[in-house]
Chains A and B, each alone.
Chain A
Amino acid sequence: MNLDLGGPGAGCSSMRVRRLLAGELSGVEKERTEAHLAGCARCAVVQQEIAAEREALRRDVPFPQFAAAVAEKLAARPQRSFVARWAPLLAAAGLALVAGTALVLRPADTEVTRSKGGGAAQLFVQDQGGVREVAPGEMLAPGARLLLSLQPGGHKRAAAILLEPGEASVVYDGPARSGTLPEAFEWTGQGEATLLVVLSDSPVDAKSIRSAADAPRGADVLSVTLRR
């Protein structure tokens, strides 16, 4: 029995189709590829596959999540020499490597109760300047989108609550997933607000939390102040 594994055909190449669609071809090569595509069923399939790839990307990894995750991974690499070398390029990319913006970790319990203490979180903002980690004391722009990224440190449940004077809003209440939360959010208030992130092994009653003291025993509570 024969099996055909494929390979480049006469005039057919999936990479050439990609390059054409990416605007990398010019002159005779571009004309030749365009002419070939017009009558090639095999390359038409490739075009369909490329369109399906774009759909999958937009469905599974929209740009804000992608940019926040890349910024997070870049920020997680403690390579000063790299930062110094590439800071201008990263600024061009709309990414800023900002040190010292990890949220303040405050164990919710007394010292008697063991706290895992392994939880951490980062808050990213997307505004007209691109996507970056929120800097300490940063004034948030109107319409800025915020995206929270969790490192649960072994905890099972997570909740994020935005506290404003006289108001509390649940941003997230669910499994303590690692990485960015599925939904970005906007803070539309003025002045100051506190975002509390609770990482816990037991269920969290997010609606009842007004301060770190309301978190379940053994939970890690992280806090960041939002300003506008």
Chain B
Amino acid sequence: MSVVGLRVVTGGRAGEVAGPGPLAPAGLLAELYETHAAAVYGRCRYLLKDDAEAKDALQDVFVKVLHALPGFRAAASPSTWILRIATHHCLNLLRSRKALWREQLRMVQAERRQETESPDRRELVRLLLAAAPEEAQEVAVLYFVDELTQAEIAQELGRSLPTVRKRLREFLACAREALGVTLEGGDL
């Protein structure tokens, strides 16, 4: 069997250039990939804890972004805007498999009762999201993961500052109840 007429691109997986001369990825999608895809993929991996699902979610998020380009272009902070889409998408996926999510939280609860080592702070936030009402979940990600101030969150979501504060309190109340511990979460 001959392979004269065909060449498998070594490094095709790694995105390396295969042919003679660079194949510069031009256009908006390439720009979006360069600037935002890493953060989106990171958010999807963080929330979904599954690389295959995260890859799929990454693509879905950018399909949504391409459908909503006017919103992207109008956003005061494209990074915040695009990560919100990613967060929203992943939270929806997690809600659809809520039983598994809650089971993971129960495992952490059991570990805490045994006084084992504290889980990673952001991993704990991820698990506690399962115990929080839907409206509080996105606010909690914006505050504890993206580290936006309450005022920035209010502006980003178009909600009042008291509403944002209320959502964060709801999240912390659920978290306290879930873990049976005192939580520090800023001056709420």
Using a CB–CB distance below 8 Å, which chain A residues touch chain B? Answer: 1-9, 12-16, 18-19, 22-24, 49-50, 53-54, 56-67, 69-70, 73-74, 77, 82, 86, 89-90, 92-95, 126-128, 130-131, 142-145, 147, 162, 164, 166-171, 182-189, 193, 207
Contact = CB atoms under 8 A, between A and B. Distances in A.
B158 interface: no
A130 B80 contact: no
5 contacts: A4-B121, A56-B42, A82-B67, A168-B2, A182-B13
Contact of B59 (A5, A66, A162): A66
Interface residues of B, number: 74
Contacts of B182: 1-3
Contact of A94 (B27, B124, B181): B27
Nearest to A43: B147
B80 A188 contact: no
Contacts of A54: 38
Nearest to A193: B5
Given A8-B143, A66-B58, A70-B59, 16 more contacts: A2-B181, A2-B182, A4-B183, A4-B185, A6-B147, A7-B147, A13-B146, A22-B78, A56-B42, A60-B41, A61-B58, A69-B59, A167-B4, A186-B6, A188-B4, A188-B7
A95 B66 CA distance: 11
Contacts of B13: 62, 65, 182-183
Interface stretch (B16-24, B88-96, B97-105, B159-167): B16-24
Given A53-B41, A73-B63, A145 B19 contact: yes
A144 B39 CA distance: 29
B58 A19 contact: no
A123 to B, nearest CB: 14
Nearest to B9: A184
Contacts of A24: 77-79
A96 B52 CA distance: 26
B53 to A, nearest CB: 12
A27 B161 CA distance: 26
A67 B147 CA distance: 30
Looking at B16, B42, B181, B182, which has the most chain A CB atoms within 10 Å of its CB? Answer: B42
A6 B125 contact: yes
A110 to B, nearest CB: 28
B122 A6 contact: yes
A186 B9 contact: yes
Given A89-B69, A130-B27, A74 B5 contact: no
A143 B18 CA distance: 8
B74 interface: no
B48 interface: no
B33 A9 contact: no
A187 B146 contact: no
A15 B14 contact: no
A7 B12 CA distance: 40
